[in-house]
Amino acid sequence: MNLIDRFLKYVKFDTQSDEYTNLTPSTPGQMVFARYLENELREMGLKDISLDDNCYLMATLPGNITDREVPVVGFIAHLDTSPDMSGRHVSPRIVENYDGGDITLNSEAGIVLSPADFPELLHYVGQDLIVTDGTTLLGADDKAGVAEIISAVAYLKDHPEIKHGDIRIAFNPDEEIGQGAHKFDVEHFGADWAYTMDGGEIGELEYENFNAAVATVTFRGRNVHPGYAKHKMINSMRIANQFSIMLPRWETPEHTEGYEGFYHLIGIQGSVEKTTLQYIIRDHDRDRFERRKKELEHLARKINNEFPGCCTLEIKDQYYNMREKIEPLMYIIDLAREAMRRVDVTPVVVPIRGGTDGAQLSFKGLPCPNIFAGGLNFHGRYEFVPIPSMEKAMEVIVEIAKLVALPDFKNVITKED
């Protein structure tokens, strides 16, 4: 089975995660998919295959160098797809030799993937694209990564003339709900460092991500008959709205880019008696991140000064910027850059405006930057992936394995970006 056949088969598995089950994996479909992959890895003849009760699947392609020690490098992808849109009954379609025009995803519903809305499509004119039927997401995030890793390992196994050390691979659940690395057994994985294959467009290489927290702000009100409410009613929804507009208007996702952080209101539940606001807080800079949390605390105090005891705030850190863990080991970034150059991909080092399992794994002792998997428009019906991008991602994995096997692998850089 080749790379594209694998991907088209993998996206048929419904692995949408669910943050409300409090289970690992959060949904049973992820374990169904993991068991399928486990069987595939056994048929390939990989070693040290393990699938635990929490749906963490690991395996080894043994190295073929016997005269010296070679670092163990890992490659990781996640099994789940986003809760933002259904991943059930995914029906992918290949658009051959894309001509630069509109792509009708679903004629009955009038759903069109257009470069007028998504100009990045024009970067892929002449390439074969895999798209959805407009009713589900595609699942390239991260089944493209899963397919690329397994296909690269299969290629290395079928080409023993390529020298490499032990290659460890892992597939984990629940990345999309921020739980992917929580029960990842770094010691059992046993890699010196790893790469998540979970990035976007071709060439992306990421070792910086947001510092992240989630905040829940609860407002307590008092309800009485509105006809007799003067000086008695306390409408928690109105107070919540007051709190919300006190935050900086332009520091939201729709107004920020690059290294700019934000406050993002992601949920509202309300009545006169009780209203809850849920925010995520993001910033690449650790100091600014801490100041953002303090700003929420300051606003909560202001509300309570006006409405005593009305507002409670709970903030929980989610993950931190992996840069501080990667910078002492920049050769692992240099290796990825060089691997891309050697397969004619231009490296594009960008900060992740989000999180990744690699961030949490880096803080658990497994340095783990992120490499492109090739997809675009994740988490929705307009998701697509260019086939050549997936092929290049697979080639990058193979090339990294080859470079790590060189005696002077820390000094393989041929040119600067």
- Hey, which residues are catalytic here? 80, 175
Domain of residue 70 covers 3-208+322-411
Structural domain ending residue among the three candidates 319, 344, 376: 319
Percent composition of the chain: helix, strand, coil (DSSP 3-state, to 5) = 35, 25, 40
62 belongs to a structural domain: yes
The pLDDT value given to residue 414? 56
Strands across the sheet containing 262-270: 262-270, 274-283, 211-220, 311-319
For residues 142 and 41, membership in a common domain is answered with: yes
Task: Indicate the pTM of the whole model.
Answer: 0.87
Cα 293 versus chain centre, distance: 24
For residues 314 and 330, membership in a common domain is answered with: no
Using one digit for the tens of pLDDT, what is the confidence trace for 210-245? Answer: 999 999 999 999 999 999 999 999 999 999 999 999
For residues 159 and 293, membership in a common domain is answered with: no
The pLDDT value given to residue 264? 97
The count of residues in the chain is: 417
Helix (H/G/I), strand (E/B), else coil: 280: strand
129 belongs to a structural domain: yes
**CATH of residue 157:** 3.40.630.10
119-144 CB burial, b ≥16 within 10 A, e <16:
eebeebeeeebbbbbbbbbbbbbbbb
The pLDDT value given to residue 350? 85
Helix (H/G/I), strand (E/B), else coil: 195: strand
For residues 121 and 187, membership in a common domain is answered with: yes
The pLDDT value given to residue 417? 41
Name the domain count of the chain.
2
Structural domain ending residue among the three candidates 288, 303, 319: 319
For residues 221 and 203, membership in a common domain is answered with: no
Using one digit for the tens of pLDDT, what is the confidence trace for 91-135? Answer: 999 999 999 999 999 999 999 999 999 999 999 999 999 999 999
Task: Show the low-confidence residues of the chain (pLDDT under 50).
Answer: 415-417
For residues 176 and 57, membership in a common domain is answered with: yes
For residues 60 and 187, membership in a common domain is answered with: yes
Structural domain ending residue among the three candidates 319, 345, 371: 319
56-65 CB burial, b ≥16 within 10 A, e <16:
bbbbbbebbe
For residues 239 and 385, membership in a common domain is answered with: no
For residues 344 and 367, membership in a common domain is answered with: yes
For residues 217 and 248, membership in a common domain is answered with: yes
For residues 17 and 139, membership in a common domain is answered with: yes
DSSP codes, 91-135: --EEE-S--SS-EEEETTTTEEE-TTT-GGGGGGTTS-EEE--SS
